[in-house]
Amino acid sequence: MSDATDAFYLPAGGDVYEPTRATESPWDTAAQHGGPPTALLAHAIDAAAGPGLRLARISVDFLGPIPRRPVRVEVSPVRPGRQVSLSEARLVAGDRTAVTARAWHIATGPTPPAGGEPFRPPEPPRAGPDRLDVPGLTGWGYGEAVEWRFTGGGGATGSARVWTRVRLPLIAGERLTGLARTLIVADSANGLSAALPMREWLSIPPAVTATLLRVPEGEWVHMDCRTRLSPDGLGLAHATLSDPVGYLGEVSQPLLVRQR
């Protein structure tokens, strides 16, 4: 693992990447937060997509803790097509697949007539604290690699609304894309809106799904997050994504909820 913080990943030849401290999970310094691997797999799938196609949905499954050591990315087509295509990718650590992803790409086309529900973007980010405070945690890599500016909530528990700005490239030497900027933060929905105190309760997302209408314009992505719990130990975290222009898409995460 690398203690560098110039990017989330350092290219290590071929399809191998070395995760830096910026990928560090809040709960285990030897593990990665789910956001950077989600963005890395999406980046690889998107690079293999045909011209005129845009990523519309990605579903990512975390098959266990994601080690913070060199990983290999594998991409393969599932359903090729010129109008819609489905691809999958795997993040392999050693001899174990740690993360899998499936993504639909849809062809762009002429602008349709105006329609749908109006959407009012949140107020632009204001000056103020830009760190993510998690009770009992200080100086963890992923939390420092993103700028967080809350517009509502942001307490120890409950719904939260926050502007995010990723501070680093996804891959060293490459420009940070709007897609990566969005997916690096998407897996934070449950942590931002935890329904129960984190010191006392685990809230573990085995998966995350992001459905995107478009990619953001500019550096800022807003997340309006809420978590709901069932009576029998499950939860569902949800976030509405937007930028200063308007609506971007939705994020959802199923949750395992257990007392520590």
Burial 223-255 (b: 16+ CB within 10 A, else e): bbbbbeeeeeeebbbbbbbbbbeebbbbbbbeb
Per domain, the residue ranges of the chain are 9-108+130-259
Q: Which of 22, 19, 27 is nearest to 203 (CA)?
A: 27
pLDDT tens-digit readout, 64-103: 999 999 999 999 999 999 999 999 999 999 999 999 999 9
pLDDT tens string 188-210 = 999 999 999 988 998 999 999 99
Per residue in 115-166, pLDDT (tens digit) is: 778 888 888 887 665 566 554 556 789 999 999 999 988 778 899 999 999 9
> Under CATH, which number does the domain 9-108+130-259 receive?
2.40.160.210
State if pTM tops 0.75: yes
Task: Output phi, psi for 56, to 5 deg.
Answer: -110, -30
Alpha-helical regions (H) of 3-122: 35-48
Among 77, 73, 97, 101, residue whose Cα is nearest residue 87: 77
